[in-house]
Amino acid sequence: MSDLIPTPRLNLRDFTPARVSLPKTGHSIVTTEVLNFQLAHAEARDAVHASFDLPAFERRLRDELPTLAEASIPVLQLQTNAPSRAAYLRQPILGRTLHPDSVAQLQPASPNLATDLAIVIADGLSALAIEHNAIPLLAHLLPQLLAAGWTIAPLTLVQQGRVGIGDPIGFHLGASLSLVLIGERPGLSSPDSLGAYLTWHPHPDRTDADRNCLSNIRDGGLSSKIAADRLLWYLQAARTRQITGTSLKEGSVELQATVTSAETNSANKV
């Protein structure tokens, strides 16, 4: 009689939407799974090529985020140097630089007008992610920032934008920090995943190593409320340390102590 104990077979599909433990019939994957894969692939392609309708999204912002009007935060529509979606996908550099007309839109706000934060919303590789997740995230984040006394630059909407577009926008707006909310590259189970990138002292010379990122903000991923709370922590830490990027790490005991001390001092002054 054998002493071997059989290993229970786990259904990994109960723990992840990833395509693991696919059922088979003979040597082939069952037809349902093949069709689901083709549907997911089509949804990912649609997300990449979807158009970001700036006027319609600005109307949604004003309707669904009354905080903007209450705090007198303007909304600006900007364009990068990418003349089309095809050019944007083939030449990423075009999505990181502002069209001259858009630079001119920012000029009146720049001279001697320092603000704490510039919030940039860009389509990136999934306008669907912006449509689904940007407003719920801001609905949690903006009231907390304003209650803590943060000054917010005009909120900017960017078509054909990459992560780096936050650098020239934040620089021209004279903001201490930039926060870019952008559609991430769609996966086969997440065509609407939102990313948030934070940069201290945004400038065109900044690199990706100068940023912090929260990823996978969506239903089924990082919820809007949890993402807003974590972003608020990062923003406060960045302002306290005057740094973002590889040196700013969540969970650092030293950093946590510094932020807590700064918050306590601020509360005592009030």
Q: What integer is the mean pLDDT of 180-187?
A: 94
Q: Is 163 annotated in some ligand binding site?
A: yes
CB atoms within 10 A of CB 92: 12
Does residue 257 have a pLDDT over 90?
Answer: no
Q: What digits encode the pLDDT tens for the residues 45-103?
A: 999 998 999 999 999 999 999 999 999 999 999 999 999 999 999 999 999 999 999 99
pLDDT of residue 268: 44
pLDDT of residue 267: 44
Fold that domain 53-241 belongs to in CATH: Rossmann fold (3.40.50)
Give the Å distances, CA to CA, from 105 to 54, 75, 99, 178, 179: 15, 11, 10, 17, 19
Q: What digits encode the pLDDT tens for the residues 144-162?
A: 999 999 999 999 999 999 9
Which of 11-15, 107-111, 173-177, 254-258 has the largest mean confidence? 173-177
Does residue 245 have a pLDDT over 60?
Answer: yes
Distance (Å, rounded) from C-alpha 73 to C-alpha 77?
13
Of 102 and 9, which is predicted with more confidence?
102
The domain ranges of the chain are: 53-241
Q: What integer is the mean pLDDT of 228-250?
A: 91
pLDDT of residue 73: 94
Distance (Å, rounded) from C-alpha 29 to C-alpha 67?
50
Does residue 255 have a pLDDT over 60?
Answer: no
